Structure 1
Amino acid sequence: MARPELTEHLPTGALGKHHWIEPLNDGTHVLIRPLEPQDREREFAFIKHLSPQSRRLRFLATINEPSESMLDQLMDVDCCRRMAYVGLSMDQGKLIETGVARYAALADSSQCESAVVVADSWQRKGLGTLLMKHLINTARLNGFTEMLSIDSEANSGMHRLANKLGFVRRQDPLDATQVIHRLNLC
């Protein structure tokens, strides 16, 4: 049963086959759904409010906030070659983004590259796992045979998550500070 505080601000009929209300490890419920164009400001605020370390681990660079061109790229979702799922919760009557997982097809390939980030205060509650499971399932349904993620060697949280989901980790041959996690989707 959908929790009313998560669904009362959604358009009628918004909870469909691609929207889920899911419990986290601590019993908190989140709405998981595809990223939509109207989430642009929410995505900007989410990234801006990540800790500097979380932003650096997610983007493999130091940024304070996303530029317009970066935001354009992050919002470019077609639900097949480029997909993103957001985790949303209620805070003072407003839906806020608590996490996002996304993939993008690699050129002329049946591989896709993925990334996931969870708001600092929502980490270690199982949200990243839930977002990635939906993302992996969608990648399989869209015909991808392999998912990869390029991550900082220092990102122990991502290493744990990738291992839990069945990814295999290898050192990045082009950058000793990075690793590549690969998941066979067949």
Structure 2
Amino acid sequence: MWKQPFDEDLFEKFDKYRKIAGVIFILLGTVGIVYPVFMTLATVTFISWLMLFGGFTAGYFTWISNKTDSIGWLKSVILIGAAIFMLLYPKESASAVGLLLAVYFFLDGFASFSIAFSMKQSSGSILWFLNAIFSVLIALLLFVNWPVGSMYLVGLLVGFSLFFDGVALLVGGSIFKDMLK
């Protein structure tokens, strides 16, 4: 176990809010699983707004710090332009997000294989190996069904991720209670 002093008040707050967050994540995940196209469009819209905010923030900080910084202005313009494109063309943007997720899952899979092989005979190496296999399978699923499948698969994967994050918060949070004992 950890040998750090624990703040019991902090754990009580975490316990309360993890249940609320867990239920919300499970509900959102269920919506994503049942309505994957809606979740895909919601994900693309969310990413677009984050990029738009990031673009304006980058522009603001470039303005106040160094108005002649062409790279800062370029970053701002690219973020704002890409965000506007994604908001105006969400179906095409879903394909791009699907392709980015496929690349991410391939890289995650190879990184997990590397970790699994470096752990050799450790008990956790099997979990890393399984994680690697699933990551590569998800990447292949996205690549094989790209670009058309992105409209469904992005939302479905986000839905599953949110659902299992919620389950982990509800179930896994009880571990912290055991740590206080």
The structure richer in helix per residue is 2
Higher relative contact order (CA 8 A, sep 6+): 2
Name the larger-Rg structure.
2
**TM-score of the alignment, normalized to the shorter chain, above 0.5:** no
Structure whose residues are more often strand by fraction: 1
Relative to the length of structure 1, the TM-score reads: 0.26
